Structure 1
């Protein structure tokens, strides 16, 4: 099966990171049929990357500004049987595509995702709990440790059959990121929509599909943490409107009732049994993260109810 890899970019500030992402795709043991770099309304960056990487198809985002529009533009230009997505600040391991293609031998598999390992650009603050690594776009405690079905993968390391987009359309615009906006969940909405439409469809998480996500100091500040949690709550409300509350919050129920309480207990045990007082801060951060995310969801819900019919 042929694979088209799509990388979306928008900023000169991430030019060096984008170069590393592109080089990691070009170095795959299973060669990509094509590499498409979609530049989101930034002509100077488009021209620069076009000159630097003649092996890639570098194109402008012809859709609405933002990640969903850029991804949909890439999909329109892709020819592969499988369409894979890598963030512009991520680095794929050499066997990333090889592991991915293996999962599609099962005809019921319509999508895959893999492990996202944080690549710290600065030392990780000790208050930051692993249960909230999703804030950084990385795999978090509570995800499977072996190949398993999931509702949706993390966006910086995912793929789908071309037939999924032919059947249900592309990423829904108005949900995902727009430049520095902290919103997300466009991949969640797509995966739910696809599974609702395709009987027996499976989306797999395979930890052998590894990419490294570069984490800058800006993403490790507490103000980014709470803004990202608030935005996640608002995005979940939009997903619930699009595909229904039951499916939109299916994974969150186990996360809130099992993963987070265990995380608080673990952090408190580290504080009182191992004399790691930062455990108290991690426990507090888990509770704060849950509160911020819930507040984002509730505020979006109240704003919707207040709008005229």
Structure 2
């Protein structure tokens, strides 16, 4: 295939054979794109048995092993460093991309000042969506949330489940920050950190809501317990990220927080107009989410001030 400025490699990180059926669905949707990728790369995170199975069973796909320490940041960087196309798309291994996802999401790169794009992420619930889940907090299950742009527009950051980067800028900043991301019970925003560093290198990000993927939400992530824990972890992670940047890295979070009292009033108003008890539950969901994230932020702030506490993360070399 002749390379063009919009030629794209799709990188899909994976780590467990428990998600094998999800991975096959993701690959099928990547292969079915109306704008065909030049290459699809699957990177396996320190799982030799799965790596051998992927090499054996995945035809027409480049299969690599994570060249860095365990974690999704190194997994993605391994795939990106292999790629030779001007654009690199990142997808999670549990998504289904709309047939025109890639074609729509690469359009903003016609502007040389665009360093990256992201598209809409629709939660694919395993069962019925929780009655208490407010649309303003769909980010807690990896989805686009209420208040995001409804047309293509500049944004501060997008999410790595649905992200395309300009390869030269991505490599220039060292890719995803190693040791900083989602691993075990840690939930640090490696994608937001990358977006900030790439913007600082010169350029901006665009959000393309017409470029849609569906992101699996298993039943265990549809519980209130998971929701509160996820919001708490996000509060801690954002404080950790802010410590790695100068200026005002959390300005977007403050603007988001200021919008939430209106969301509570909106849900309460709908309940008062007879639109159901679900609206009351969603108002409570907003309050619970803010409280949990705030608690996480306070705990991390206090923890970070302890003597001898230092960040232990770095960018790829």
Q: Same fold (TM over 0.5)?
A: yes
CA displacement at 1:275 relative to structure 2: 4.6
Q: Could you tell me which of 125, 128, 138 is aligned with 1:123?
A: 128
**What residue number does 1:111 align with?**
116
**1:204 and 1:116 mapped to 2: Cα distance?**
14
**1:88 and 1:166 mapped to 2: Cα distance?**
23
CA displacement at 1:253 relative to structure 2: 1.5
- TM-score, normalization: structure 1? 0.95
Contact kept, 8 Å, 1:182 with 1:228, in 2: the verdict is no
**What residue number does 1:26 align with?**
31
CA displacement at 1:184 relative to structure 2: 3.4
- TM-score, normalization: structure 2? 0.93
Contact kept, 8 Å, 2:106 with 2:117, in 1: the verdict is no
**2:100 and 2:275 mapped to 1: Cα distance?**
41
CA displacement at 1:147 relative to structure 2: 0.7
**1:195 and 1:55 mapped to 2: Cα distance?**
34
**What residue number does 1:43 align with?**
48
Contact kept, 8 Å, 2:188 with 2:240, in 1: the verdict is no
Deviation track 1:40-84 (CA, whole Å, cap 9, x = no partner) reads 111121122222212111111111111111111111111111011
Q: Are residues 1:187 and 2:197 paired?
A: no
Q: Are residues 1:269 and 2:269 paired?
A: yes
CA displacement at 1:262 relative to structure 2: 2.0
Aligned residues: 304
**CA shift in 2, pair 1:27/1:275, >3 Å:** closer
**What residue number does 1:60 align with?**
65
**What residue number does 2:208 align with?**
206
Gaps of 5+ in 1: none
RMSD: 1.3
Deviation track 1:136-172 (CA, whole Å, cap 9, x = no partner) reads 1110001111111001112211111001123211111
**What residue number does 2:16 align with?**
11
My pick for the range that moved more, 283-292 or 42-51, is 42-51
Q: Are residues 1:215 and 2:217 paired?
A: yes
